[in-house]
Structure 1
């Protein structure tokens, strides 16, 4: 009887498909990667467990469970602080970070804008806040102009190092985040899956072709039929195993942690794209710019990507691609309280 059971077990194991083997080794890979991160600090396990119980995907919309904007900010800022401290993350004030910090000298605010997180809407609003221009004039500006060099950022040459230090130390500092998967899917749909006629940058020519060369060994369609699988492989695979191209680190899909340096800059408030209408108004009131709340322009319709749509795209990916995606955006998930799907 024992031999018969043993024989059935062997037969069952022999029937494992290649797909299940890929899943098995993918999980092993993810486990090793996670272990390497986790063991970087003795208290990370406790921190992750606590965060997992406290908050995930909607860590709270304003008003949910009687939460106020102040309650949410205390919770989010503390999670970020503890995460950076526990992981021992050290960041530097790079040019890319200073470029993404919008400066408002009227309301004494620094705002880290993140592409695909309503950045066009925020920049249009910034024109109103810092220039007191007419709303109709601002709303009619071409998107290429809105994203041009007109608005002042912390990296502007007119600011001295001392002035930058003063602003970083005394101004209110805020950023808005977005679910990493939804942000990347939105970028893919907007820049590569369809034609972005408003952008001054040809993503198909510059990025699509680069993706095709990496995935196919040559350009086959001028960058116009890049699949989501090829795009994700492009995002998560450094050239020669060590270096990244400018296209791979494009601001539209570069992790928010890289663009805003939240473990270096002590942000006072962290809003969420997922609850933009409510939290955008709350953020403006907090900045002292509440009179502009009704002027906040809605994001472009093609910029919206629902959670379900993002998950549909995720299902197109092999397990190894999913795991590499999680690895690449892991800090965005952990520090900003988003749940890995």
Structure 2
């Protein structure tokens, strides 16, 4: 129906969407790379959410993480080995994202400012930092040799490039492996360690956690900065993937889409993997939808929104159906119940 409204035959649009998602090895590789970035942001969101925090700043943390990764990746000597270059780039990205989230974490812990507001506002500042970095030659912009020189960084050294998985015709890198490992670590921490129990206690009731002697401020600060580190790594993954340069459109809304994945996962890392994969393939299919059927790629965003509304509506219905309907049951201790024959 949406394709028909956009002026394309539904059958042709469906075929183009399917080909863009799974029609070629290139499409599948692009989809899993996108899913990896979304999963990294979602894993960080779940970590903060367990402590009762909502990290809305994935977009800004991606931008700052990408800037930090580029600063390291372009400064390394060409002779550096990949076993050293790539970890350094990703660690720099994690530090950038964590440092950016630490601003909101400090304000939440020390000043009681809502992290929803601060992380949201820091998105715009982080995007401005990225734009400034790629437009100023004194920062990260490549040397301007002509009027056609693009406002982007110089390429990262070859050793800092994410290696491909080796699938013929596919651009899939090791990013999905890194994202799955990150999601596995978060799941292990949240469900199998004492730290996860303490984070859950803080998220359920901060006053009760204080009475139990838990370091509430430390746990909340660590959870939000950890979420920023995961989003920062997502920025490092983006800049370390082809074409291995930093430009002002590198994020493309991944931070907000990763937030959606985290919300829909409802605390489950396994569900986050499934939702991130579904959205990754949907984004990949939307690109081919525009190329092959002439339908705007934004149509997939509409479909994504409808999917979110459907899942959210199902969740609300399930919660309401599970509630005991005590309003229609008489209280056996009430005088009216005793008087009822």
TM over 0.5, shorter chain: no
With normalisation by structure 2, the TM-score equals 0.24
* More helix per residue: 2
Greater relative contact order (CA < 8 Å, ≥ 6 in sequence): 2
With normalisation by structure 1, the TM-score equals 0.24
* More strand per residue: 1
